[in-house]
Amino acid sequence: MTAFQKLCYDTLKHHVPAGSVTTYGNLAKLMKHPKAYRAVGTAMNKNPNAPEVPCHRVVKSNGELGDYAFGSNLKQKRLQEEGVQVVNNKIVNFKDICL
């Protein structure tokens, strides 16, 4: 695991609680690397500690779920188990729960 990946995972674990989501770009900003949103996506895809490191909470900037290494159905299931509503592959109240 690289230092950047560790920073991604630690930031996600400590700043995005269950029932909330964030975007790849917002997570990059939280990490003080605002242009590294693609690298954040790559790190989320390589997360060796899911669901302890909740990469399922990172979604696209338009509220769509985006990809998930374990399949989009499992990403949706995990989010819904945390109280996040998903309809047609999109977060229902995205602006209200996105950090």
74 Cα distance to chain centroid: 13
pLDDT at 7 exceeding the cut of 90: yes
Query: Which of 72, 25, 73, 68 is CA-nearest to residue 46?
Result: 68
Known catalytic residue: 55?
yes
Q: What is residue 74's predicted lDDT score, i.e. its pLDDT?
A: 94
Domain that holds residue 83: 3-97
CATH number assigned to the domain comprising residue 53: 1.10.10.10
| Number of neighbours of residue 3 by Cβ within 10 angstroms | 7
Written as six digits, the tokens of 85 are: 């509503």
What is the count of structural domains for the chain?
1
13-44 pLDDT per residue, tens: 999 999 999 999 999 999 999 999 999 999 99
pLDDT at 89 exceeding the cut of 90: yes
Count H helices and E strands in the chain, helices first: 5, 4
44-66 pLDDT per residue, tens: 999 999 899 999 999 999 999 98
Q: What is residue 26's predicted lDDT score, i.e. its pLDDT?
A: 97
CA–CA gap between residue 67 and residue 27 (Å, rounded): 16
pLDDT at 69 exceeding the cut of 90: no
Catalytic residue among 55, 65, 84, 91: 55
